Amino acid sequence: EIYILRLGHRPKRDRRVTTHVILVARAFGAKGVYISDIIDPVLSQTLSKVVKRWGGKYFELIMGVKPLEIIYKLKSEGFCIVHLTMYGLHIDSIIDNIRHQCKKILVVIGAEKVERIYYEISDYNIAIGNQPHSEVAALAIFLDRLWKGAELGLCFSDAQYYIIPSEKNKVVKKVE
Ligand code: SAM
């Protein structure tokens, strides 16, 4: 069971990236995304459109949460807190541990600078390589390494449409 906590969303600047965080979380099998402090209705509208067509109505988008409160709450429910940061331990050195130790995970990702406290309260500070890149890439690779690629086979039973993979065409079928 995986949730994501997105810190520091700024509605104008970060909307596209945060939308991609949400879409990656849904497509790759997380249960939901928390957005700290801010309520941005555009994010839920975009998610609703995707869910209506492609399924995933149980995926949760919970906005306007106080991030430290959520972290303490989920910790008390047995979640491991995994903060993705380029300063952390290299994912290859720790992912097997995380897979064995953590049944439930809250993945914390930033936007701009992430405050020191998050490094301290996290159980793991993990780097997807020690170069600066993107929270979308970091989240996708973390989930992929955790689940060893199985997430790419995910199907949503409540989808209205599904895709038949095709070499050259877009083949979309309606679920009967
Ligand atoms: N400079 C910021 C800082 O010092 O925290 C990071 C900005 S970065 C654009 C936004 C987020 O992407 C980070 O908070 C982190 O979650 C994620 N990120 C970027 N590069 C990463 C890496 N190499 N490994 C893990 N996460 C990374």
Task: Please state the pTM of the whole predicted model.
Answer: 0.96
Measured in Å, residue 83 CA sits from the centre of ligand 1 at 10
Q: What does the pLDDT read at residue 42? A: 96
CA distances from 175 to 47, 59, 159, 172 (A): 20, 20, 7, 10
Residue 53 is part of a domain; what is its CATH number? Answer: 3.40.1280.10
| 99-131 pLDDT, tens digit each | 999 999 999 999 989 999 999 999 999 999 999
Closest by CA position to 110, among listed 38, 35, 45: 35
ipTM over 0.95: no
Strands 171-174 and 161-164: antiparallel
Atom of ligand 1 nearest to the CA of 111: 10
Split into its structural domains, the chain has a count of 1
Query: Which domain range does residue 145 map to?
Result: 2-174
Nearest CA among 57, 14, 56 for reference residue 35: 14
pLDDT digits (tens, 9 = 90+) for 28-67: 999 999 999 999 999 999 999 999 999 999 999 999 999 9
CA 84 to centroid of ligand 1, rounded, Å: 7
